[in-house]
Amino acid sequence: MNHVMPTYARVPLTLVKGEGTYVYDDQGHKYLDFVAGIAVNTLGHAHPAIVDVMCKQSATMLHCSNLYAIPQQEKLADKLAELSGLGQVFFCNSGAEANEAAIKIARKYFYDMGCSKHVVITATQSFHGRLLSTLTATGQDKVKIGFAPLPKGFKHVALNDLEALEHTIDDQTAAILLEPLQGEGGVNLADVDYLQGVRSLCDQHGILLMLDEIQTGIGRTGAMLACEHAGITPDVLTLAKGLGGGVPIGAMLASDKVAASFSAGTHGSTFGGNPLSCAVALAVLDTIEKENLLQNVRDRSVQLQAGLTSLVAQFDGLESIRGQGLLLGLLCKDEVTPVIEACRAHGLLVLSAGNHVVRFLPPLNVSHAEVAEMLVLFEASLQEVFA
Ligand code: PLP
């Protein structure tokens, strides 16, 4: 009997080893990995920079508690502050925890001002995590079934509809929480002028703009943060997934003004920002810079989109390409499960985003040759499904 709770519909595949963009199953079969642990394995598998820092840091100190100063955490906070323009960082262990911290700080910020604003507005089709607060923030009903009573204080509006958003803001609104590019919800891009408009609305109404960059952050879209494409700085920003390159870490960044509401005893996490996870995250950021991976993301994105565009022209079952950088989606006319299964049989791992979108999330250091190989495997899989 399997004693693991069946919260995931697992595919019949046991991955036991990874090397760069390739993974191997327990039968020795090799797969090209365009899932990367759902946007986690930023540098692919077993990158020497991560192996090295894991060995060194675990031989020195894995964990010591946030009761003490942690130099790796301070250094990582400096780096994240520098790249985001936000002065303070709270560390946790996952995306949902980072968003929970964002929701809490928004409430506390207005509480400290003696003000009753507490409602967080998010987008329909958004995904913000599986905690009670974050599944309530999520703009998809399917994740909420059976978990009532849900916490109060959340509203949802359609993405890219600035007018609807403006009408939803009232004197109870504390913050707007958005993914600049929705991942789980179907690879839906927030328009640049929409994001700029949301920034202005927040300034006008004195409310907080909070961006969930858990899937888009740390280079995934071809910029370190996706909000750079719109030239905006949020008041609060959340990171996880790609930051640790495979080691669990989450971060909630806030402007100095907002961060002042989190003082000693207001929030915490036993494991959050421990020496190991912070040392690895520093190695990830360092490697992105040294290997010029943002440029690689942009180049490989152009290559992958060009290849997918010709496949859209070739196969009737395919509609269009969406996304940015190496968070790309292919909208299909029918359910995508047969495509994903055919890919797996051809030695290619891809995933879905909703029922009709195939999602591609290769490591940021995927090579030209690997993208070319992926396109060959993908075409062969499509031939089989649409034959
Ligand atoms: N926010 C976004 C945008 C995500 O894509 C995810 C996970 O897919 C989360 C939050 C939740 O992150 P975690 O699964 O680490 O709790």
A 10 A CB-CB count for 363 gives 30
Question: Could you tell me the residue ranges of all domains in the chain?
Answer: 15-33+292-386, 49-290
- Residue 159's pLDDT band, with cuts at 50, 70 and 90, is very high
pLDDT at 143: 97
| Tokens describing residue 295 | 């440029």
| Whether the Cβ atoms of residue 230 and residue 205 lie closer than 8 Å to each other | no
CA–centroid distance, 344 to ligand 1, in Å, is: 24
Query: How much is the pLDDT for 387?
Result: 81
Burial letters 170-183, b for 16+ CB under 10 A, else e = eeebbbbbbbbbbb
Say which of 127, 154, 262, 360 is annotated catalytic.
Answer: 127
Q: Do residues 358 and 330 lie in contact, with contact meaning Cβ atoms separated by under 8 Å?
A: yes
Contact by Cβ (8 Å): 66, 273 = yes
Q: Give the tens place of pLDDT for each residue, 323-342.
A: 999 999 999 999 999 999 99
**In the predicted structure, residue 1 carries a pLDDT above the cut 90:** no
DSSP single-letter state for residue 241: G
Is 127 a catalytic site residue?
A: yes
Protein residue with its CA nearest to atom 13 in ligand 1 = 95
CATH numeric code, 15-33+292-386 = 3.90.1150.10
| 15-33+292-386 against 49-290: fold identical | no
User: CB–CB of 202/120 below 8 Å?
Assistant: no
Class of domain 49-290: alpha beta
- How crowded is residue 231: how many other Cβ atoms within 10 Å of its Cβ? 10
Pocket of ligand 1 (CB under 6 A): 94-96, 99, 127-129, 179, 183-184, 212, 214-215, 240
Q: What are the pLDDT digits (tens) for 268-284? A: 999 999 999 999 999 99
Mean pLDDT, the chain, rounded, equals 98
Count CA atoms closer than 13 A to 164's CA, side-chain side.
12
Alpha carbon 154 to its chain centroid, in Å, reads 21
Whether residue 122 is predicted with pLDDT greater than 90 in this model: the reply is yes
Give DSSP secondary structure letters for 321-351. Answer: EEEETTEEEEEESS-SHHHHHHHHHTTEE-E
Residue 152 buriedness (CB in 10 A; 0-12 / 13-18 / 19+)? exposed
Is residue 211's pLDDT more than 90? Answer: yes
Distance CA 329, CA 352 (A): 8
pLDDT band at residue 350 using 50, 70 and 90 as cut-offs: very high
For residue 41, name the pLDDT band (cuts at 50, 70, 90).
Answer: very high
Tens of pLDDT, residue by residue over 83-117, are: 999 999 999 999 999 999 999 999 999 999 999 99
Say whether 241 is catalytic. Answer: yes
Asked whether 285 and 49 are in contact (CB, 8 A), the reply is no
Catalytic-labelled residue, pool 241, 262, 360, 378: 241
Q: Which H or E run includes 88?
A: strand 88-92
Model-level pTM greater than 0.75?
A: yes
Q: Please tell me the distance between residue 310's alpha carbon and the centre of ligand 1 in angstroms.
A: 32
Q: Please state, as a whole number, how many other Cβ atoms lie within 10 Å of the Cβ of residue 304.
A: 24
Name residue 245's beta-bridge partners.
247
Contact indicator for 82, 282 with CB cutoff of 8 Å: no
By DSSP bridging, strand 119-123 and strand 357-360 are: unpaired
Give me the mean pLDDT over the 157-181 stretch.
Answer: 98
